[in-house]
Amino acid sequence: MEDQPHILVVDDDDRLRDLLKRYLGDNGFLVTAASDAADARARLAAMAFDLIVLDVMMPGETGLELVTDLHRTMDVPVLLLTAMGEPEDRISGLEAGADDYLSKPFDPRELVLRINSILRRVVPKTETVTESVRFGDIHYDTDREELSREGEPIRLTSFEAQMLRILVERAGEVLSREDLTRLSGAAGGERSVDVQVTRLRRKIETDPRSPRYLQTVRGRGYLLRPD
């Protein structure tokens, strides 16, 4: 039981919530369920979770409002469930700090795959031989895909980690928005790429408004120049 990732499922749909609790439980997860944002807050205050599966459209406080507020005080990753499949809706979830999103209706097998993908990124690996890239006092571990400042981890969402890895692998090369969309598979297209670049700048730049490392090359795209 101690090795099972603990998942908090938050959805106001009783039937879906119960189905997810049973299915995730059958697939190796410890699952706690909450019916709305207030219920989720009470659970989060009492227990630690490895990941939250969070419905966007709930009465009262929405999933987007909850994830935005939670990320001010905790680093738990969030996978959003949304009935809104438009790119702008997905981008809103990424801007709020979600690690991933899944549009309803969905195959529960895909949910499990996405949860495991997120958990692999946030669970530290045991290898000790690593290479790193520096952005001033910030280090990026290229093996673990982890960002830190003076040994203190800086949390990356799955999309941020993927985008940073692509940029680091092609450091010194100008990548267009089309290139980054293709390489990352960003479902939100070029707008989603811009969102991830903005979020990365907040984490690696001293002054995100005047970036030193992740630069915009006018009319061409983005260029990463680490130390």
Q: How far apart are CA 78 and CA 81, in angstroms?
A: 10
CATH 1.10.10.10 fits 6-122, yes or no: no
Question: What is the per-residue pLDDT for 128?
Answer: 38
Kind plus residue range of the DSSP H or E element containing 52: strand 51-55
The per-residue pLDDT for range 42-76, each reduced to its tens digit, is 998 888 899 999 999 898 999 999 998 888 778 88
Range(s) for CATH 1.10.10.10 in the chain?
132-224
Kind plus residue range of the DSSP H or E element containing 78: strand 78-82
CA angle 187, 116, 45 (to 5 degrees): 100
Question: What is the per-residue pLDDT for 187?
Answer: 60
**CATH architecture label of 132-224:** Orthogonal Bundle (1.10)
- Comparing 127 with 86, the larger pLDDT belongs to 86
Range(s) for CATH 3.40.50.2300 in the chain?
6-122
Which residues contact residue 173 at a Cβ distance below 8 angstroms, ignoring those fewer than 6 apart?
A: 223
- Comparing 63 with 85, the larger pLDDT belongs to 63
Q: CB burial class (10 A; 0-12, 13-18, 19+) of residue 41?
A: middle
* pTM of this prediction exceeds 0.85: no
- Side chain identity at 49, as an amino acid letter? F
Q: What is the mean pLDDT of residues 85-112?
A: 83
Whether the per-residue pLDDT at 89 is higher than 80: the answer is no
User: Pairing mode, if any, of strands 146-149 and 138-141?
Assistant: antiparallel
Task: Give the total residue count for the chain.
Answer: 227
DSSP β-bridge partners for residue 141: 132, 146
Instruction: Looking at mean pLDDT, say which of 87-96, 121-130, 210-219 comes out highest.
Output: 210-219
